[in-house]
Amino acid sequence: MVKIGVLALQGAVSEHMRSIEACGAEAVVVKSTNDLSGVDGLILPGGESTAMRRLIDSYDMLSPLQAFATAGKPMFGTCAGLILLSKNLVGYDFAHLGVLNATVERNSFGRQVDSFETPIEIKDVATDFPAVFIRAPHIVEVGVDVEILAKYENRIVMARQGHILGCSFHPELTDDHRITAYFIEMVKETLAKEANV
């Protein structure tokens, strides 16, 4: 069975675990470098990116997480997770993991009270995915190696760069598991390639 880790330092961890299990994969809590070595793919959940980065540093996980991505292991960041993955942040002169060739702007869709849900079309996933936006970022621009999968009001809200996937919204807060299933397929494809090398 495919093992999908969820970075469990802060944020919507249990919701992602539930979605992974609903898709028939094994969900694994990742709180250390040791936990990371036992998973086939990793989800960075929504939450508070600054708090997550502080905890990543406290647990000495920044370099191991970057190495995980560099090794070609699939990673999926939602909301704060997208911020952690991106190479550039608007208004900041530093990035976090810096593994997704994209520029992201934080809190693009307003404050917590401005949260909303809207159906969006996602390439290869759904024509009507119920996207939940909570203090969501958006992707301002992407590199040539990044495929745009979804937009909302002309703003990029989901993109993929090979084995790295990121979205602005919270798929784990719905009962629609199609995005999680899409990521699990990415992981299976990576495992199949590794097996054929």
Q: Which residues are catalytic?
A: 79, 170, 172
Residue 114 CA to residue 134 CA, distance in Å, equals 7
Q: Which two tokens stand for residue 97?
A: 């993991």
Cβ pair 27, 15 in contact under 8 A: no
Instruction: List, in order, residues 6 or more apart from 69 with CB less than 8 Å away.
Output: 75, 97, 99, 163, 164
Which of 71, 79, 72 shows the shortest CA–CA distance to 7?
Answer: 79
Angle at which helices 13-22 and 178-196 cross, to 10°? 70
Query: Does residue 40 sit in helix, strand or coil?
Result: coil
Q: How far apart are CA 47 and CA 67, in angstroms?
A: 23
Distance in angstroms (rounded) separating the CA atoms of residues 98 and 165: 13
Pairing of strands 164-167, 155-161: antiparallel
